């Protein structure tokens, strides 16, 4: 894996500046299927949040492993997409009745131990539906859980509705690994760091791909040494919409 010249320059610049206000919350989605990569995610050398798919074969084991390793655990609840993809067990759709929808949410919350928050798995179709998102928030607003909008659609209503319900919330700013090439992941990590430098923080989503994990294993400690503070997702949530406005560029995965 070759580190980009720009990222090396960024590390050098960070080492010469006060970067204590630059926070990165990296969420590793899709935990629960691949056991080896799940354990590897739990052992990453920087603070990350593991988002676990409910009812997946290794959900409970990997959630416990991550928790024991000091990682924060979220529920990665499946939602219907605007592409022809099969939903995981426990997925939410707009074809459900309100009772079925809310029961499915409760079953998902009970399926994964140690969770402190929730984000959507897929959901490019469902997160655009205000009624469905309100049903979800009905189940979250009397719990201690926060919500993060994975922002799989630029028309997502999820974050807005979470804040209207006073649910601690945030939204994803950068995807790390739409491309699994090392160099492309490094470019996205650089984008996340620059966003955090501008705004003080960034919420980043990646996946337990070997390439993504290798980048974080090798580059994460260097970024931390240079002054980037890796934090759990809960550190970057808010209750008010004014604190989490996205610019147009932030919507680009």
For 57-114, the pLDDT digits (tens) are: 999 999 999 999 999 999 999 999 998 888 999 999 999 999 999 999 999 999 999 9
Question: Rounded mean pLDDT of 143-153?
Answer: 96
- 153 alpha-carbon distance from chain centroid: 14
Grouping H, G, I as helix, E, B as strand and the rest as coil, residue 91 is coil
pLDDT of 90: 94
CA–CA dist 108, 111 (Å, integer): 5
Alpha-helical regions (H) of the chain:
5-15, 35-42, 59-68, 98-111, 130-140, 158-164, 182-199, 210-225
Chain position carrying tokens 């919409």:
241
Bridge partners of 148, per DSSP, are 119, 170
Per-residue model confidence as pLDDT tens digits over 176-223: 999 999 999 999 999 999 999 999 999 999 999 999 999 999 999 999
**pTM (2 d.p.):** 0.90
For residues 1 and 210, is the Cβ–Cβ distance under 8 A?
no
Mean residue pLDDT across the chain? 89
**How is residue 118 written in tokens?**
């929730």
Bridge partners of 171, per DSSP, are 149
Which strand (E) or helix (H) includes residue 229?
strand 229-230
Q: Decide yes or no: CATH 3.40.630.30 for domain 5-243.
A: no
**How is residue 234 written in tokens?**
């809960």
């Amino acid at each position: 894996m070759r580190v980009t010249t720009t990222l090396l320059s960024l590390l050098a610049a960070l080492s010469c500046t006060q970067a204590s206000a630059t926070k990165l919350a990296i969420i590793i989605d899709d935990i629960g299927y691949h056991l080896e990569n799940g354990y590897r995610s739990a052992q990453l050398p920087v603070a990350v949040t593991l988002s676990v798919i409910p009812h997946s074969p290794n959900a409970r084991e990997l959630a416990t492993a991550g928790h024991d390793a000091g990682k924060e655990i979220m529920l990665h609840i499946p939602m219907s997409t605007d592409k022809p993809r099969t939903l995981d067990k426990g997925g939410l759709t707009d074809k459900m009745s309100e009772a079925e929808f809310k029961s499915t949410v409760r079953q998902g919350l009970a399926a994964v131990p140690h969770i402190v928050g929730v984000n959507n798995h897929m959901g490019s179709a469902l997160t655009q539906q205000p009624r469905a998102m309100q049903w979800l928030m009905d189940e979250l607003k009397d719990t201690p859980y926060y919500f993060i909008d994975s922002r799989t659609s630029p028309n997502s209503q999820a974050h807005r509705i979470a804040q209207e319900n006073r649910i601690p919330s945030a939204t994803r700013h950068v995807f790390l690994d739409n491309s699994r090439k090392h160099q492309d992941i490094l470019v996205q990590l650089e984008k996340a760091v620059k966003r955090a430098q501008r705004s003080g923080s960034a919420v980043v989503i990646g996946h337990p791909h070997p390439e993504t994990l290798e980048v974080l294993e090798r580059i994460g400690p260097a970024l931390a040494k240079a002054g980037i503070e890796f934090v759990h997702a809960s550190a970057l949530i808010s209750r008010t919409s004014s604190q989490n406005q996205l610019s147009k560029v932030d919507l680009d995965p």
